[in-house]
Structure 1
């Protein structure tokens, strides 16, 4: 468990504990496949008085992919999909944060890197009633070279990160 605060205006949080998660969903063969990454870090430096001056960074260890089916997980680790031997991490670093018109919703925009491809990408972040944060996004796996064209598997992946 990692958790620390810097008192004053800034609150710094490093997250790596049991209630945190990185989960994803994708359509495959007409049903939804769910999975997660079991090893990741999420660092949030939140400025409560000026949230747009905050920063969010994260790294996922791709080897830790878990869909509940080891044969599928090993296939996803292969060069056909994530190629974990060459690209062991997925990373994100915010470049700006925008407040939405909804009270507890923010847009976290930054650089998302998957398989050596870096693109600007946005997550929505909402404050949960219990004080944690939830980040959500939808991305096209093919934009990052994860798998090729497929008749049975969807291109869009829904990702939810909870701290």
Structure 2
């Protein structure tokens, strides 16, 4: 076998491998993921609150970003406004009704790659069993081996906004603003043998 034939063979093999490659599943790291949302309060201030303990998977296809997807679950029990009485009120029936609807979910329906590591992620947001489409404007911060965990890791920031009344969470509108602005930051990693072992122990 001459060098030209060998080179052609390796090229074809790499193309074949590339063509059957599947999206890589990154598991969201809840310790480095936060969803912070803000609203207008009678025109005087812009309070904020956040959710933590966020779970989910980001499937990433670098070759064909349109094949990528996001699936996230946000437990309402993780809500934090830094005001205990407000946390308790927001979980009641006139707002999130967390006892009946304990989670918020987001499932992407379309991923579009834009310029300079920017993406537009369209998906279904479900709050109180009401599902509406929203669009996340996302930026890929980094994709590399994490220096501490040694796992393949990816990091994004994203923003979106929507009217809370559309999801049945419209108490006190318009005095308390209807529009909710959301800022998201997340790290997600490909599970390693070690992390899988740790998860199995829990």
TM-score (norm 2): 0.72
How far off its partner does 1:160 sit? 1.5
Which of 178, 183, 189 is the aligned partner of 1:155?
A: 178
8 Å contact 2:57–2:72 — kept in the other structure? yes
8 Å contact 1:40–1:58 — kept in the other structure? yes
**Structure 2 match to 1:47:** 61
Structure with the largest fraction of strand: 1
Superposition map of 1:20-99 within 5 A: 20-29=33-42, 30-99=44-113
Per-residue CA distance 1:49-103 (angstroms, 9 max, x = gap): 1111101010100121100000000000000100001110100111111123x32
Q: Does 1:11 align with 2:24?
A: yes
- Stretches of structure 2 that go unaligned for 5 or more consecutive residues are 1-20, 144-153, 187-202
How far off its partner does 1:105 sit? 1.1
**Structure 2 match to 1:4:** none
Provide the alpha-carbon RMSD of the alignment. 1.6
- Stretches of structure 1 that go unaligned for 5 or more consecutive residues are 1-7
8 Å contact 1:9–1:49 — kept in the other structure? no
TM-score (norm 1): 0.88
Gap change, CA 1:85 and 1:17, over 3 Å in 2: closer
Per-residue CA distance 1:89-128 (angstroms, 9 max, x = gap): 100111111123x321111111110011011211111112
Structure with the largest fraction of helix: 2
Equivalent residues, number? 155
Q: Mean alpha-carbon deviation: is it higher for 47-56 or for 11-20?
A: 11-20
Larger radius of gyration: 2
Mapped partners of 1:132, 1:40: distance in 2 = 14
Gap change, CA 1:81 and 1:143, over 3 Å in 2: same
